[in-house]
């Protein structure tokens, strides 16, 4: 089964990535950053984790305020560096681990944690700033990543206790994963800093030292501190250290701190800590019972013929095609699609199979492939067909035969005001 080989806590300030990209290794002001991370680099090189479970917060880059989740689990196949205003950094994309992510999702939901899932999003300095210094990456990264985005910037946010309990649940989910892989838990953010308002520039090194000490020896005690108290002691943005607390909870009750460094050149301390497990507590329920509980809400669905639950696995498999079809909500994309879809197919890197499914309006084939129905009905609206035509096609029936199974022979679609999209609505419905 999977093993958790230890935990890393690290700042994720963009200062780290800037220093690396600007080749500041020998500059006396910047050199302590590089020196401080050398033990973490060596630890990762020696331990060789297969996967990093990476806890971070986005900085209103890929997770905007129009939909801001508390806990968002990355389930995708690949994550590239985000453009934060000056172009993305020249780094290769990180490979994800959708299978492990799906297992973690099942475990956390079974333990009553409400998650959102993401894929196809580029990740900002919260991920790539420290990792670009910690791991070799000339052409690719040496391990996979399961990113876990925490919405800490838009109060009310979850309590420190909730972050801690989520870390405990993460530990259980990972340790129950049946494959023999090594997982390192990385908690990022902090330490004391504030980057907005008249209080910007606030730091509190004594509190930072106390927090690290308590994180090692009394993490549960840190759950009793309120967000306001964290902000008072460590700055408003410094309250993101709850993500370090989440990492710590995913480790054993007793840990050994094998490394600690701290350097405060400007606005944010650049700190790193390594914890290794020093005890071996059993899970609070047998693994088989836990795995059974993960799936009990869905056991039996496989017996329903013609039914395809839109699982994480299906979502990942057909993500590229679903994203393409989702673009049809934009008028200019619809116009270009109807004029000539070929350039759009190329732009979105659709496979030949995916192109054929769309071009042939193979509604049943797209559904089998993994397209969610609510994107089929959008495509239907764009090309001027009805939901009923799509339903009939999915059943392998003619529209006439399908309508015989309905109480009323009506037609409808989700088309709005685009001209000609409801021309089929010319005859009165038949009861």
Catalytic residue among 125, 137, 196, 330: 125
Please name the residues in contact with 96: beta carbons below 8 A apart, sequence gap of 6 or more.
74, 75, 76, 77, 78, 79, 119, 144, 145, 146, 147
Which one, of 218, 246, 219, 303, lies nearest residue 108 by Cα? 246
What local confidence, expressed as pLDDT, does residue 232 receive? 98
Compute the mean pLDDT over every residue in the chain, rounded to the nearest whole number.
97
Q: Sign (positive/negative) of CA torsion 11, 12, 18, 23?
A: positive
What local confidence, expressed as pLDDT, does residue 83 receive? 98
Q: What is the CB neighbour count within 10 angstroms for residue 85? A: 6
Catalytic residue among 103, 193, 259, 389: 193
pLDDT tens digit sequence for 108-126:
999 999 999 999 999 999 9
What local confidence, expressed as pLDDT, does residue 315 receive? 97
pLDDT tens digit sequence for 18-37:
999 999 999 999 999 999 99
What local confidence, expressed as pLDDT, does residue 373 receive? 97
Classify 71 in phi/psi space as left (phi over 0), alpha (psi -120 to 50) or beta: beta
Using 70 as the pLDDT threshold, list the residues of the chain that sit under it.
427-431
What local confidence, expressed as pLDDT, does residue 425 receive? 83
Q: What is the CB neighbour count within 10 angstroms for residue 62? A: 19
What local confidence, expressed as pLDDT, does residue 122 receive? 98
Please name the helix (run of DSSP H) or strand (run of DSSP E) that holds residue 71, with its range, or none: strand 71-74
Residue 291, both tokens = 């795995």
44, 85 in Cβ contact below 8 A? no
193 is catalytic: yes
State how far the Cα of 236 lies from the Cα of 126, in Å rounded to an integer: 17
What local confidence, expressed as pLDDT, does residue 383 receive? 96
């Amino acid at each position: 089964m999977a093993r958790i080989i230890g935990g890393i806590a690290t700042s994720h300030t963009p200062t780290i990535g800037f220093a690396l990209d600007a080749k500041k290794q020998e500059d006396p002001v910047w050199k302590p950053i590089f020196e401080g991370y050398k033990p973490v680099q060596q630890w990762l090189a020696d331990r060789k984790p297969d996967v990093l479970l990476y806890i971070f917060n986005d900085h209103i880059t890929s997770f905007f305020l129009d939909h801001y989740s508390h806990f968002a689990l990355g389930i995708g196949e690949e994550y590239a560096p985000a453009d934060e205003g000056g172009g993305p950094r020249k780094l290769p994309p990180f490979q994800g681990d959708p299978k492990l992510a799906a297992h973690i999702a099942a475990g956390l939901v079974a333990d009553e944690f409400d998650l959102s899932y993401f894929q196809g999003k580029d990740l900002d300095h919260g991920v790539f700033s420290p990792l670009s210094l910690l791991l070799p990456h000339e052409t690719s990264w040496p391990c996979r990543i399961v990113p876990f985005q925490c919405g800490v910037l838009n109060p009310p946010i979850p309590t420190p206790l909730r972050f801690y309990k989520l870390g405990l649940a993460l530990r259980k989910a990972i340790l129950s994963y049946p494959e023999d892989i090594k997982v390192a838990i990385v908690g990022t953010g902090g330490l004391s800093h504030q980057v907005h308002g008249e209080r910007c520039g606030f730091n509190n090194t004594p509190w930072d030292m106390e927090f690290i000490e308590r994180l090692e020896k009394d993490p549960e005690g840190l759950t009793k501190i309120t967000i306001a108290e964290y902000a008072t002691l460590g700055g408003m943005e410094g309250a993101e250290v709850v993500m370090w607390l989440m990492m710590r909870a995913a480790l054993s009750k007793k840990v050994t701190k094998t490394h600690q460094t701290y350097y405060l050149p400007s606005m944010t301390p650049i700190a790193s800590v390594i914890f290794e497990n020093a005890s071996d507590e059993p899970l609070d329920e047998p693994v088989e019972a836990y795995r059974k509980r993960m799936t009990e809400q869905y056991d039996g669905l496989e017996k329903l013929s013609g039914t395809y639950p839109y699982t994480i696995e299906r979502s990942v498999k057909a993500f590229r095609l679903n994203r393409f079809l989702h673009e049809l909500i934009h008028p200019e994309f619809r116009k270009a699609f109807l004029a000539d879809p070929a350039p759009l197919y190329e732009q979105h890197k659709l496979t030949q199979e995916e192109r054929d499914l769309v071009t042939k309006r193979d509604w049943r084939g797209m559904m089998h492939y993994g397209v969610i129905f609510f994107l089929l009905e959008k495509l239907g609206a764009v090309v001027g067909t009805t939901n009923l035509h799509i339903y009939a096609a999915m059943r392998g029936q003619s529209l006439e035969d399908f309508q015989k199974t309905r109480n009323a022979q009506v037609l409808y679609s989700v088309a709005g005001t685009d001209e000609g999209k409801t021309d089929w609505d010319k005859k009165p419905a038949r009861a």
